[in-house]
C-alpha cells in the first residue's frame, strides 16, 4: 500500500458490530486530545450524499462526473464511477484524502486491505474472529472477556468495546 503522510488505523468487523458507533464515540475523545481527524468509510452499497432539487444533484444527473461543492463551512467532492464495476481499493480512497493539517486518519472497513486494524467483535452476532486470517489485525475490541483458552495467537492488545476511552488511549500512545 502506498504510504501516506499521517498515522492511520482501521476498524474492521462484520456488519452490525458497531464500527460507526465506536468511531462516533472515539472521534470526540481524540479531538479532545487536540487531534485533527479524517475518516474514510467503505460502503458496500450505492449511496447518495446529495438529493433531488439540490444543485449538485441536478448537475451530477446532467452528466458531470466530478462535482466539488464548497463554502466557508465545508467542501464536498462527488466523483462518479460509471465504468467501475468493482469496489474501490483503499489505495484509491487514500489518494483522495487531503492530509495537510491532519494528525490521524481513521478507516472504517476495507477489511481485506493490508493496513493496521482493530477488529471489533460481538459475541451475540455469532460470527468468527477475523484476526486468524489477517496478520494486520493488531488489536481486538470485544463486548466480552477473551478467555486465554478462547483464542490462540490473539493480537497483543485487547479492549472492551464498550469503553472507547481505552481505545482512544491506545491510539494516542501507540499509533499517533
Give the pLDDT means over successive 10-residue stretches in the chain (176 positions).
83 95 97 96 74 87 87 85 77 88 95 95 94 94 76 85 97 96
Q: Is 46 exposed, middle or buried (0-12, 13-18, 19+ CB in 10 A)?
A: exposed
Put simply, whether the predicted model's pTM sits higher than 0.85 gets the answer: yes
pLDDT score at 10: 97
What is the CATH number for 114? 3.40.50.300
For residue 2, being part of any structural domain is answered with no
Within a domain: residue 171?
A: yes
Looking at the structure, do residues 155 and 100 belong to the same domain, yes or no?
yes
Structural domain including 72 reads: 47-85
**In whole angstroms, what is the distance from residue 66 CA to residue 79 CA?**
4
Three-point CA angle 142, 146, 152, nearest 5°: 115
Number of separate domains in the chain:
2
144: its cell numbers: 466480552
pLDDT tens readout for residues 149-176: 566 778 889 999 999 999 999 999 999 9
Amino acid at each position: 500500500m502506498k504510504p501516506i503522510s499521517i498515522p492511520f488505523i482501521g476498524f474492521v468487523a462484520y456488519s452490525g458490530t458497531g464500527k460507526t458507533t465506536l468511531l462516533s464515540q472515539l472521534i470526540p475523545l481524540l479531538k479532545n486530545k487536540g487531534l485533527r481527524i479524517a475518516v474514510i468509510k467503505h460502503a458496500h452499497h450505492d449511496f447518495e450524499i446529495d438529493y433531488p432539487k439540490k444543485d449538485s444533484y441536478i448537475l451530477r444527473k446532467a452528466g458531470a462526473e466530478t462535482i466539488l461543492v464548497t463554502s466557508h463551512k465545508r467542501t464536498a467532492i462527488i466523483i462518479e464511477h460509471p465504468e467501475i464495476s468493482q469496489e474501490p481499493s483503499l489505495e484509491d480512497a487514500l489518494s483522495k484524502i487531503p492530509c495537510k493539517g491532519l494528525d490521524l486518519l481513521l478507516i472504517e472497513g476495507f477489511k481485506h486491505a493490508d493496513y493496521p486494524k482493530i477488529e471489533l467483535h460481538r459475541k451475540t452476532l455469532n460470527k468468527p474472529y477475523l484476526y486468524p486470517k489477517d496478520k494486520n489485525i493488531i488489536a481486538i475490541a470485544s463486548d466480552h472477556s477473551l478467555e486465554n483458552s478462547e483464542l490462540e495467537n490473539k493480537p497483543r492488545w485487547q479492549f472492551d468495546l464498550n469503553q472507547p476511552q481505552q481505545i482512544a488511549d491506545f491510539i494516542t500512545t501507540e499509533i499517533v
